[in-house]
Amino acid sequence: MSIPTVPVATLGVPRIGRRRELKAALESYWSGKTSAADLLEAAKKLRAANWIEQRDRGITKIPSNDFSLYDHVLDTAVMVGAIPKEYGWTGGEVPLDVYFAMARGNQGDHDSAACNHGPHANGVAALEMTKWFDTNYHYMVPELSADQTFELCSTKPLGEFREAAALGIRTRPVILGPVTFLKLAKSRGGGFNPISLLPRLITVYVQLLQQLSQAGARWVQIDEPCLALDLDPAERIGLELAYQRFSTTVPDINIMLATYFGGLGDNLETALALPVAGLHVDLVRAPEQLEPVSRLSRKDQILSLGLIDGRNVWRADLPAILDHIRPIVAGWPLDRIEIAPSCSLLHVPIDVELETGLDPDLRSWLSFSIQKMDELTLLADALGAGKDVVSKELQASAAAVQSRASSLKVHDPLVEGRLLGVTETMRHRHSDFATRQELQARKLGLPSFPTTTIGSFPQTAQVRKARADHAKGELSYIDYQSFLERETAAAVRWQEEIGLDVLVHGEFERNDMVQYFGEQLSGFAFTRHAWVQSYGSRYVRPPIIFGDVSRPRPMTVAWWQYAQSLTQKPMKGMLTGPVTILNWSFVRDDIPRNETCRQIALAIRDEVIDLEAAEAAMIQIDEAALREGLPLRKSDWKTYLDWAVDCFRLASSGVGDGTQIHTHMCYSEFNDILDAISAMDADVISIETSRSKMELLDAFRTHKYLNEIGPGVYDIHSPRVPAVGEMIDLMTLARERLSDTQLWINPDCGLKTRGWEEVRPALVNMVEAARQLRTVA
């Protein structure tokens, strides 16, 4: 491929490998099957393949240091020495065991995942984890103290720059900006704002920039997505302080300041005043900012135009993009423009060409990371050399967009008609919570501090193999169903044996909490190889919502009936909520998101009503991703929360007062959306609180939340098995915040990704913790 006359950047690319090579390397290392050297060599090969792929596809601004073994925010914390003392680090290069202990926790010297060199004999918990802005990527939250010191502890950015140079590829190193890093960090002990640490942190960044300059780097991409957020005066001043220092102390480094996930808005003036050589803006989320940015930016500054969607999978309408930007950039010199995606391509799958089983029409409408690179270079060619040079490719782009817009596979008039029939009554339970709670207490007869789990049990290698064998035709439907029934029956018996109060069937028949439902709903499509990183080695294949959504038939009723037939204890019906299905899918961009969500809500409502008709007394509708859909600006929150809550209520409100509706939410700060949580009116909500030491419950106490709550008492994202005493301590903190009649006891999240060797002792300890609490309550 020829090199475009206009520079083209990717800002970052997927790390995981076409065949999930990084996952295999990580999990092999964690299990002790391979060495650290093996892991690092596998990572080196993946980086090289990424650089070469980009070079060969005409990318001229190739990133380095966008690769991570686990998470780029964790990498930054390690790079600057922001390592809490309990991880045992004493200075110098940070060992892999310390790095992975921060990411995953460990069991101390007996933890094979830490390669038997854990920093504490009793083990340590992982750092808190939360969502990266409004994406489904998770980052590890840095923990900083008021007396925090920083030092340059990692040569990773420098090493990867040199690694690429040895291949003959000059890269532009990517660094998470200091202000964004501090804004995402958490203060240990409270009482101070992490941004106050910026002067100390800047010194380390200067050292790094100087090293990169000495190694021959001329450009560095510094990501400050915080510029798409509401910033306070201290943060704006911090940006000015940091970048003024960079420009004066390392003048021979050109900085491309990358903003993304939204428009600059009231931060536009701040961003344009910073002494940086280039500015990247997201023109997918905020196309309206092109005109003011182009008009007000310095004439010697390069503008990186984020024209291709880095967060969704739809093929771009290249002629329309060109028509939008041409009038504005027509008078610019070509060396003032750079073509890029809206954000790093980390958030999309790697290559559509791997998806040979997709419907041909749908496949023609899609664009993954590799295809987006081609779209970028086409735009650059069209801007630099004229449309005629790529006229055939532009015509193909327009034809694909038109084909999708007119396809009968996309539009269903019956679904559109049903939406018009939704009434206000359909959005509300019959009675208030107090009335429902009394009815449900009599009906269910549960003890104080009832114990349950969130839904899923370990998807063992045996379960995954059976599913794969069935998909390949090597295991018959009857044999596969028999296998699933045996797994379910064993899980139900075991839960009864250890004394859980409310049981789940384990979800062995489910591949994923969204995919399982999407496969049974119209309007969804699924891939085989379109993996994206959620966190660490946890990858997901988000469904693609390409058309109107409806439920042709019941999805979960038969499995619930089978599981309930095995026990006299209550068995929860387990569903994924409409907002989570929406937020964890690649969503249509041809209709509003809220319209798609209401379509899904009606489909889930049908399932809820069918479960109740089958005599399910408890139905859990998980909305794990409700908060992550929040717009980045608070001024936009109300609109989103209104329709998100409306969709949950539409899905959940078709049942009688005696049916208990549960929901579950992951890794969410609730204090600023408690009104919306209350408006959902779920009878029981379970949430993650173990890593935050029950701090999240402060918001519920302040808000005087009256419904019931299951605060997670152990972190399922870590292999650690917490002791009974740890769980009692957490519940003691919970009891200081909420009444005993409100509290349930459960893990933080589902147990699908854990092994039985961890799950069994952890849940036994959890049941024992509940027993001890009941004796003293």
From 72, 138, 529, 717, active-site residue? 717
| Contact status, residue 428 vs residue 680, Cβ threshold 8 Å | no
Long-range contacts of 395-403 (CB under 8 A, 24+ apart): 397/315, 397/316, 397/317, 397/318, 397/319, 398/317, 398/318, 398/319, 400/315, 400/364, 400/365, 401/315, 401/317, 401/320, 401/365, 403/361, 403/364, 403/365
Q: What is the dihedral of CA 573, 578, 583, 585, to 10 degrees?
A: 80
Q: In sequence order, which ranges of 570-635 are alpha helices (DSSP H)? A: 578-583, 593-613
| Contact status, residue 601 vs residue 575, Cβ threshold 8 Å | no
Q: How far apart are CA 110 and CA 710, in angstroms?
A: 30
Q: Which residues are CB-neighbours of 747 under 8 A, at least 6 positions away? A: 453, 454, 712, 713, 714, 716, 762, 763, 766
Long-range contacts of 55-58 (CB under 8 A, 24+ apart): 55/169, 56/1, 57/1, 57/370, 57/373, 57/374, 57/377, 58/1, 58/2, 58/3, 58/4, 58/8, 58/373, 58/377, 58/380
| Contact status, residue 259 vs residue 225, Cβ threshold 8 Å | yes
Q: How far apart are CA 286 and CA 67, in angstroms?
A: 27
C-alpha distances (whole Å) from 732 to each of 502, 540, 704, 710, 772 are 22, 36, 19, 13, 11
C-alpha distances (whole Å) from 374 to each of 50, 168, 170, 368, 550 are 15, 22, 20, 10, 35
Q: How far apart are CA 777 and CA 772, in angstroms?
A: 9
| Contact status, residue 166 vs residue 64, Cβ threshold 8 Å | no
How is residue 702 written in tokens? Answer: 């302040």
Residues in the chain: 777
Residue 110 a catalytic site member: no
| Contact status, residue 452 vs residue 569, Cβ threshold 8 Å | no
Q: What share of the chain is helix, strand, coil (3-state, %, to 5)?
A: 45, 15, 40
Q: Which helix (H) or strand (E) holds 176?
A: strand 171-176
| Contact status, residue 239 vs residue 279, Cβ threshold 8 Å | no
DSSP per-residue string spanning 479-526: HHHHHHHHHHHHHHHHHHHHT-SSB--B-TT-S-TTHHHHTTSEEEE-
Burial 414-445 (b: 16+ CB within 10 A, else e): ebeebeeeeeeeebebeeebeebbeebeeebe
Q: How far apart are CA 342 and CA 228, in angstroms?
A: 12
How is residue 767 written in tokens? Answer: 């049941």
Closest C-alpha among 136, 741, 92 to residue 437: 741
Largest interatomic CA distance in the chain:
80
Q: How far apart are CA 287 and CA 710, in angstroms?
A: 42
Closest C-alpha among 667, 676, 671 to residue 645: 676
Q: Which helix (H) or strand (E) holds 689?
A: none
Q: 663 forms bridges with which residues in the sheet? A: 685
As a whole number of Å, the CA-based R_g of the chain is 26
| Contact status, residue 60 vs residue 7, Cβ threshold 8 Å | yes
| Contact status, residue 198 vs residue 80, Cβ threshold 8 Å | no
| Contact status, residue 253 vs residue 205, Cβ threshold 8 Å | no
Kindly list the catalytic residues.
717
